[in-house]
Amino acid sequence: MPRGLRLDVALTLLVLAALALAPLLGFGANYYLTLFARIMILAAAAVSLSFLVGGAGLASLGHAAAMGVGAYAVAILDAHRLTDITIVLPAALAAAALFSLLTGAIAIRTEGVNFIMITLAFGQMAFFTASSLAAYGGDDGYTLYDRTEIFGSRLMENRLFFHYLCLGFLVLCWGICAMLLASRFGRVLRAARENPLRAQAVGFAPYPYRLLAYVIAGTLAGLAGVLFANATEFVAPAYMSWPRSGELIFMVILGGLGRLSGAILGAVLFVLLETWLPNLTTHWKMIFGPLLILAVLFMRGGLIGVLGARRG
């Protein structure tokens, strides 16, 4: 590994520092804080997906479903007036982990395109299940009565607190995934991604490692979903749909598959573009789409590829 601070990591730290300072530097208006929350939560989900795709080689097209499970845990408990974090957090964690375990146990038996298709199918199953939950808004989605309470306090409604909570979560996600990739566990994942036969020939059956990686990534996404539900105070089936999964994949690829920091940079760029472009024209998606295609075509290795960071 090259010595010193890598450019992509340095830039990511700069972005995180900017997010930390933004509310103090005149970007404290609700409009900005809402935008930042969206960036940070989606970036955290994208980091967990990057861990899965770039680290373990599992290109899931159903990652939004795990995020949606976390969000729906908040909504369903909210409908029963259960809003304290001591209930919401364990429930959301367990639901996202269980969902990932059950779908992953089947999906990871397949590889390549089949894996992509089966994760997509599970994602759509979750989407249609959510759409049919009439008691929790069905197609229309569900508006929360309250944000999640922290030991009875309504701290989450403090926008500044929520801002730093999201930032903390993003940093935590990045740290956890980086730590895992560098560990023994991560080494087996990386080896099995690049050469599964070689991994087996030194004694590692990839399946249990991959399944655990899938559950960890899904659980982190579920946590992101809890924050997302709180940020928007609203939950809808669209949170689980495949376009959202596709967006997450896009953030990862836009930033660069080889590094976790790429997912953060990709998410920032993606959300900023989808926020600014509509100001130019109502047909902004006609610019956004081709822009993304050009980015993939000409920025091999994504943003971090452009920054000159090597794939690792």
Site residues for other proteins per CB under 8 A: 179-180, 182-188, 190-191, 194-195, 197-205, 209, 212, 311-312
Rounded to the nearest whole angstrom, what is the least distance from the CB of residue 312 to other proteins in the complex? Answer: 7
Euclidean distance between CA atoms 34 and 5, whole angstroms: 31
Rounded to the nearest whole angstrom, what is the least distance from the CB of residue 311 to other proteins in the complex? Answer: 7
Cβ-contact 215, 89 below 8 angstroms:
no
Among residues 35 and 172, whose Cβ is nearest to other proteins? 172
Among residues 2 and 26, whose Cβ is nearest to other proteins? 2
Among residues 113 and 202, whose Cβ is nearest to other proteins? 202
Euclidean distance between CA atoms 270 and 228, whole angstroms: 17
Euclidean distance between CA atoms 118 and 100, whole angstroms: 13
Which of 78, 72, 70, 74 shows the shortest CA–CA distance to 100? 70
The set of residues, in sequence order, having a beta carbon less than 8 Å from that of 153 and lying 6+ positions away, is none
Cβ-contact 224, 45 below 8 angstroms:
yes
Rounded to the nearest whole angstrom, what is the least distance from the CB of residue 200 to other proteins in the complex? Answer: 5
Q: Which residues pair with 142 in a beta bridge?
A: 235
CA atoms within 13 Å, Cβ hemisphere of 305: 17
Euclidean distance between CA atoms 200 and 180, whole angstroms: 20
One-letter amino acid of 63? H
Among residues 137 and 302, whose Cβ is nearest to other proteins? 302
Rounded to the nearest whole angstrom, what is the least distance from the CB of residue 198 to other proteins in the complex? Answer: 5
Rounded to the nearest whole angstrom, what is the least distance from the CB of residue 212 to other proteins in the complex? Answer: 7
Rounded to the nearest whole angstrom, what is the least distance from the CB of residue 14 to other proteins in the complex? Answer: 24
Which of 176, 173, 200, 197 shows the shortest CA–CA distance to 186? 176
Among residues 57 and 68, whose Cβ is nearest to other proteins? 57
217 phi and psi angles, rounded to 5 deg:
-60, -40
Rounded to the nearest whole angstrom, what is the least distance from the CB of residue 259 to other proteins in the complex? Answer: 13
Residue with tokens 């993003």: 170
Q: Calculate ∠ Cα 60-180-165, nearest 5°.
A: 80
Among residues 141 and 196, whose Cβ is nearest to other proteins? 196
Among residues 158 and 183, whose Cβ is nearest to other proteins? 183
